[in-house]
Amino acid sequence: MEVIKQVSTIRERVQALRCSGKSIGFVPTMGALHEGHLQLLHASAKENDVTICSIFVNPTQFNNPDDYKLYPRTLDEDTALLKTVSCDILFAPSPEEVYPPQQPLLQFSFGALEDVMEGEHRPGHFNGVATIVSKLFHLVQPHRAYFGQKDLQQVAIVRQLVHTLSFDLDLVCFPTVREQDGLAMSSRNTRLNLEQRQAAPSLYKALKIAEAQLRQKSVPEIKKEVAAFLGNVDGVALEYFEIADPGTLQPVEDITKVEEVALCIAAVVGPVRLIDNILVNLNEG
């Protein structure tokens, strides 16, 4: 596996690969790799000649400076892990390499898509996501880019970005990978202590409670049930629970008028903010 840290080098390497007719799969990450990332890497290896993984903790998408400072950074361990899987190139630049001094930052607007859930609770977050994803897509020039469903709203933002800026690539989204107790795999999970880790699966349990009630109760009643359930879990503070349209992520007010919904949740567990979601087809079951 080749490790590249300079923007100029990744440009040269990608240009050579494309000139030789190689297809490029790309898995962008912020490191602290887990099985969810490995699923994306394996998928890329099956569908492309070359797989590139990036590890970059992007400062512009953190609206909380402490969150950025405390985000797990395990580059040495991640590099060793990537050498054991189907990864051909690791692109691991420094912040100074990605954001040169005095470089003007663009402002992205995604309309209603960023006015709900993560966009509402993390002002500026998706502008930072769009900035770094645009930069990485320009540098890596992938034929396919792979993301996980756990960051459902981020995937929707990136899909709109690809469409609006006419990036010539396919966006591939894979289902969330979970621990045996249902907790969605996340790099942030490493910051949970034992007690917090035991409480964290309550987010997924809340989603399953909501799913079971979709055909029997109204949206306000389901939201009340979810809030009551998590209110009884020590160390968990619900930030939001939404029943949304999977495409637009706008709130669904009447479940009887839709065929599919996205159940989305965010909560703080101890010092760690976690998100999760599930998609439910109301015509099944």
Q: For residues 204 and 276, is the Cβ–Cβ distance under 8 A?
A: yes
Give the whole-angstrom CA distance, residue 222 versus residue 218.
6
Residue 148 is assigned to a ligand binding site: yes
Residue 30 is assigned to a ligand binding site: yes
Cα 236 from chain centre = 21
Strands 89-91 and 2-4, by their bridges, are: parallel
Residue 77 is assigned to a ligand binding site: no
Residue 162 is assigned to a ligand binding site: no
Residue 197 is assigned to a ligand binding site: no
Structure-block tokens of residue 34: 């887990």
Residue 50 is assigned to a ligand binding site: no
Catalytic residue, candidates 37, 42, 121, 138: 37
Residue 182 is assigned to a ligand binding site: no
Residues in the chain: 285
| Residue 42 is a catalytic residue | no
Question: Tokens 């899909």 correspond to what residue?
Answer: 159
Residue 150 is assigned to a ligand binding site: yes
Q: Which positions ≥6 away from 8 have C-beta within 8 Å?
A: none
Strands 170-174 and 236-244, by their bridges, are: unpaired
Residue 177 is assigned to a ligand binding site: yes
Which of 126, 121, 93 is CA-nearest to residue 10? 93
Binding residues for ATP are: 30-37, 148-151, 177, 185-188
Residues serving a catalytic function are: 37
Binding residues for beta-alanine are: 61
Binding residues for (R)-pantoate are: 61, 154
